[in-house]
Amino acid sequence: MSSFRIHVQTLSELNHCVGTARRNAAFIHLGEIAQPGAWQETCKGRHAMYACYLELIQEVLTTTEKSSLMHCIPKHGLWDRPVLHFLNLLHQLAQTLSCLAEHVSNVKEEAELLAEHLGQDTFTQLQATCNDFEQHEKATLQAFLRILAIGATVLNDNSAKRCQQFSADETRRYNLAFEKYLDYYRRRHGHPTPATLS
């Protein structure tokens, strides 16, 4: 392999530890906010929380994909396959949750207008779907949380393998970046719950 390095690739490799820190911080915060709370009591609250889920999962996906494509150690791509599998599943589940909550929210908010334009019989049928959708949402949320718990084990294993490749300076940069990113996500979403990634 030529000693000549493309500048952008070199930068990507140098920042691999920072990307891993950002990924792990986003995932840790996802676990923090995916807890039962007052947000579950309203359709709007649930829809807003699912938007946070999607944002954080996308952060984790993006940093993992960039690392898989650009890091100098080819086997990292193999290490990342299980991570990407469960992240894509989490993303799909979060999208489903968002759609279900949005439907119920829209029907409830626009009840008067919908009843007027659809007619009472059709609107009554539409209202009945809300109960079904809310039940499906609860089941999907449970599935999401189960996959999230499994994913934590997968991501921890992946991170341990990545961190074994870090130099002393990269480990220092990882720790610093992890703290900064976790603080950023907590301030952004207003959930300052302590957590660690072993």
pLDDT in tens, 88-138: 999 999 999 999 998 888 777 665 665 566 667 776 777 777 788 889 999
The total number of structural domains that make up the chain = 1
Domain extent at residue 99? 7-189
Q: Angle of helix 16-33 relative to helix 7-14, nearest 10 degrees?
A: 50
Torsion region of 73: left, alpha or beta (phi above 0 gives left; psi -120 to 50 gives alpha): beta
Overall pTM surpassing 0.75 (yes/no): yes
Q: In whole angstroms, what is the distance from residue 165 CA to residue 173 CA? A: 13
The answer to which of 57-61, 109-113, 177-181 has the lowest mean pLDDT is 109-113
pLDDT in tens, 141-174: 999 999 999 999 999 999 998 888 889 999 999 9
Please report whether residue 20 resides in a domain: yes
Burial of residue 144 (number of CB atoms within 10 Å: 0-12, 13-18, 19+)? buried
Place of tokens 């996500």: 185
Whole-number average pLDDT of the chain: 81
Please report whether residue 88 resides in a domain: yes
Cβ pair 60, 26 in contact under 8 A: yes
Please report whether residue 47 resides in a domain: yes
Q: How many CB atoms lie within 10 A of CB 48?
A: 14
Does the pLDDT at position 28 exceed 50? yes
Please report whether residue 43 resides in a domain: yes
